[in-house]
Structure formats: C-alpha cells, structure tokens
Amino acid sequence: MTVQITNPSLQDQTVGVIATSLPGAAAIFRKFKIDFCCHGDVTLDRAAKDLGLDADFVEQALSELKTDDLPGLTKLSSGDLTEYIQSRFHDIHRREIPELILLARKVEAVHRENPKVPAGTAVLLKELERELEGHMKKEDLILFPAMRWSDTTLDAPISQMRKDHADLGVYLQRLADLTDNFTLPEGACRSWQALYIGLSKLNEDLREEIHLENNVLFPRFETV
C-alpha cells in the first residue's frame, strides 16, 4: 500500500519524528544524507536547506514509501526495546569493532604505499571503541535498568546520552571521510573489501541504534 502524505506540514515535522512514524523514511534520509539520528530534532525543511536540497523533492520521495515493512520496534515495551538494543547493537559492536581494528591495521600496513589507503582508520576505530564502550556501559548498567524499573522521567541522564550520541556521530563522519564514504578503490584486495563492508555496516548499525534511542526510546522518559 502506498502512503499518501497529505499533511501539508510534513516539512515542519522533525526528521526524527518522520523516521520513527513513517516506515522506510530512514532509508530515504540515508540516501539524501539527512542525519535523522544525531540531529533528529531538526525539521525536514531545515535539514533539506542545510544540505542544499529541495525539501519538496525529499517530501515527494517520502510520499512514495510503502507501509509493508513496518518494523514494529516502536510498539515494543521499554523493557523489550532496551533488551533488543543491547542484543542487536551493543553485543554486536563489542564483537565486530575489535575485528575491524585488526583488519584496518592490516590494510594500512600492507597498502601503506597506496595513496588511497585509509591511513588512521585503526587509531580512529580504537578511539571510537573506547568512547562507545563508556557510553554503552552507562546505558547497560544505569539508564536501561532504570527504564525497566520505573516510568519516571530521566531528563538529566538522557541529555548526557544525547550529547554522547552527537559525539559518536562525529566519529562516524570522520570514518566516512577517511574512506571516501566506504568506496573501494579499483583492485582492492579482499581484506580491504572486508574492512569497508564492515565499516559501512558499523556506520549503519550505530546510526540505526542512535535513531532508536533518540527518537523512540528516550522521548518516553523525557518531559520536554
């Protein structure tokens, strides 16, 4: 079924709300490089203008979305959603990032003479890993349990988490810049291919996780 968006104020809604309420909108935003996770509180009109895009054009793309792939995550209880985030994202980051660091070290060493080598990726990933681990621990040990035990507002800790997310978004942007948006050079070896596939997945996963937290989970516990 095609969604006909007749609401004339869609461009006045925030991209975070649109990504949450309109199935498939997240993919459209990724295509246009609209940051709906770390900067989800920006209106569609503003986000389009900031990127030099025609907001009507983006709205048209959103209006052609289909509703068949509703993920259902927004309907989960907070307890189930936090458990989903931990198993689908936190556990997987902890497993995959160390492997990516090893792979990046290898590619950087073997291809150090290649002008396209993403020099500095391993160091950047190590910094990202440290920041992300500190952030996930706060969610795993303090914030998420608090969300399971009560429905009181948690404005102060959530505000800190949102700041952490913005910082993590900067790391992801630096990774994309280093790798020419995860674009492989001609004749890249298998390790290089595996590295960019893994980095691209990390980028997608972390942005999806931040989107779920910022735009679906956190608003349930905020007063503003």
Interface ranges with Fe ion (CB under 5 A) = 139, 213
Q: How far is the CB of 40 from Fe ion (least distance, A)?
A: 13
Closer to Fe ion by CB, 108 or 139: give it. Answer: 139
How far apart CA 205 and CA 165 sit, in angstroms, is: 13
Query: Shortest Cβ distance from residue 199 to Fe ion (Å)?
Result: 19
Length of the chain: 224
DSSP 150: -
Residue 131 to residue 220: CA distance in whole angstroms: 25
Give min distance, CB of 20 to Fe ion, in A: 16
Measuring CA to CA, how many Å separate 10 from each of 26, 43, 62, 93, 122? 15, 9, 10, 34, 41
Residue number with CB closer to Fe ion (38 or 44) = 38
User: Shortest Cβ distance from residue 69 to Fe ion (Å)?
Assistant: 23
CB closer to Fe ion out of 78 and 114: 78
Beta carbon nearer to Fe ion, 10 or 100: 100
Residue partners of 221: CB distance under 8 A and separation at least 6: 78, 147, 151, 152, 153, 154, 155, 158
